Amino acid sequence: MANIHILYGSTTGATEAAAQQLAALLGAEAKPIAAASPEDFEADLLILGSSTWGYGELQDDWAAGIALLDAIDLSGRKVAVFGTGDSVGFADTFANALGILADKAVERGATLVGQVPAVGYAAVESFAVRDGNFVGLALDDTNEAEQTPDRIAAWAKVLQAAI
């Protein structure tokens, strides 16, 4: 069985809930980034999650998390990213945190997995969209909460196939 770690930052609980759902589907444990140690980044599949705040920024707990990630060599490791945002109220920065986490993981040597087509969302103006795909799973519990469980379940299958 693959060693899967899920690290997330959540302020309102939406990203935490998504992390817990994903963990249940993948047989993994979800841990807040604020409680992470370097060992938590050692996995066959590392899944990083964050809500997007302000003008497209990472959730606050990721300030220390990014510093921790800067010291980690992810060469040869697979990394997937997910997060929550508001595609209507913040259409021009929706899920930007995914792009920030994805870029940092690649900078640290990771292979990014789990891209999702940017169709069926209210907005696709995002730093997290590359070549028509989100770099990971974008969730909008503010405007599309009814789609969240199915999106997580579908993404879990994609991730299982990637490891």
Distance CA 54, CA 146 (A): 24
Residue 10 pLDDT greater than 90, yes or no: yes
Q: How many domains does the chain have?
A: 1
Would you tell me how many other CB atoms lie within 10 Å of the CB of residue 33? 24
Consecutive H or E run containing 97: helix 96-107
Residue 91 pLDDT greater than 90, yes or no: no
Which residue range(s) make up the domain with 132? Answer: 4-162
This prediction's pTM: 0.95
Higher pLDDT: 127 or 81? It is 81
- pLDDT per position as a tens digit, 23-34: 999 999 999 999
Residue 64: CATH number of its domain: 3.40.50.360
137: helix, coil or strand?
strand
Q: Say if CB 1 and CB 28 are below 8 A apart.
A: no
125 pLDDT tier (thresholds 50, 70, 90): confident
Q: Which amino acid is at 119?
A: V
